[in-house]
Amino acid sequence: MKHLSKVLMLLTIPLTLQLFFFPLWQITLEAPQYPEGITMFIWINKITGTTEYTLQNINILNHYIGMKYIEPDSIPELKYFPWVVIGIAFLEVLGLFWYNRWYYLFIGALVFALSCLGVYDFYLWEYDYGHNLDPNAPIKIEGMVYQPPLIGSKMLLNFNAISLPATGGYLFLLGNIFGFLSFVLFPKKK
């Protein structure tokens, strides 16, 4: 059993660092005149799209309703989140050497807490983009806000906005589960 717990902790390391290779979250916009689809990918350190021009094209669409331009350079999280991820990976590496049940619980709990904070932060950004609209926007509809859902889909005018975790998000969640399992399966002192 001791062996399994340590292997699980070992696995959390690549499942953390993969965030530099796979996006965390994705928001897809569906409308008839976009048969090729428009999907925006949110990474730990950048925002990309189906093509390299997707973000510009989303911004052009958003300007009709007066939404702020999504400019990755103006989002500080994209600068410091990578360091948080590296920090987590460091603590997990440490777990391979400091073999302590409560330390394992600490890692699991910390990662879970940070994840919740991250999702809450994402919600705040969505709220900000969806509500703080330019009063001079060409299209103004009384009472309409344009906040995409945290998870799930919602019609925003002619677009169906679908927000879901992406590959990196799922893998990171799996890592967190492994982290807790490594605590649960930690061999009790006899």
Partner 1 sequence: MKSLKISIAALIGISGLFIGCQSGGQKKAASATGSDAASSVYVAPGEYDEFYAFMSGGFSGQLSVQGLPSGRVFKVIPVFSVDAEKGYGFNEETKPMLNTSHGFIPWDDAHHPELSQTDGVPDGRWCFINGNNTPRVARIDLKTFETTEILELPNSGGNHSSPFITENSEYIVAGTRFSVPIPQRNMPINLAKGNFKGALSFITANEPGNMTIKFQILVPGFDYDLAHSGKGKSHGWTFFTTYNTEEAHTLKEAYASQNDKDYIAAVNWKKAEEYLAAGNFTEMPAEYAHNYYDERTQSATSSMLKTVKVLDPAKCPGLIYYMPCPKSPHGIDVNPTGDYIVGAGKLSADLTVHSFDKMIAAIEGKQFDGDAYGIPVLKFDAVNIGTVSSGGLGPLHTEFDDKGNAYTSFFISSEVVKWKVGTWEVLDRVPCYYSVGHLMIPGGDSKKPWGKYMVAMNKITKDRYLPTGPEMCHSAQLYDISGEKMKLILDFPTMGEPHYAQGIHADVVKPNSQKIYRLDENEHPFACKKESEARVERDGKDVHVYMTMIRSHFAPDNISGLEVGDRVYFHVTNLEQDWDTPHGFSVLGANNSELLIMPGQTETLVWEPKKEGVWPFYCTDFCSALHQEMQGYLGVGAKGQGGELKWSLGD
- The C-alpha R_g of the chain, in whole angstroms, comes to 20
Report, in Å, the least distance between residue 14 CB and partner 1: 35
Q: How many residues bind partner 1 (CB under 8 A)?
A: 9
Residues 2-61 within binding reach of partner 1 (CB under 8 A): 36, 53, 56-57, 60
Exposed / middle / buried, residue 17 (Cβ in 10 Å: 0-12, 13-18, 19+): middle
Is 130:62 a contact under the CB 8 Å cutoff? no
Is 76 a binder of partner 1 (CB under 8 A)? no
Tell the smallest beta-carbon distance from residue 163 to partner 1 (Å): 22
When asked if residue 64 is in the footprint of partner 1 (CB under 8 A), the reply is: yes
Shortest Å distance, C-beta 131 to partner 1: 22
Using CB under 8 A, which residues numbered 115 to 154 contact partner 1?
138-139
Evaluated on CA atoms 121, 125, 130, 133, the torsion sign reads positive
Check binding of 69 to partner 1 (CB under 8 A): no
User: Can you state the angle between helices 167-184 and 101-131, rounded to 10 degrees?
Assistant: 150
Report the distance separating Cα 116 and Cα 164, nearest Å: 15
Binding site for partner 1 (CB under 8 A): 36, 53, 56-57, 60, 63-64, 138-139
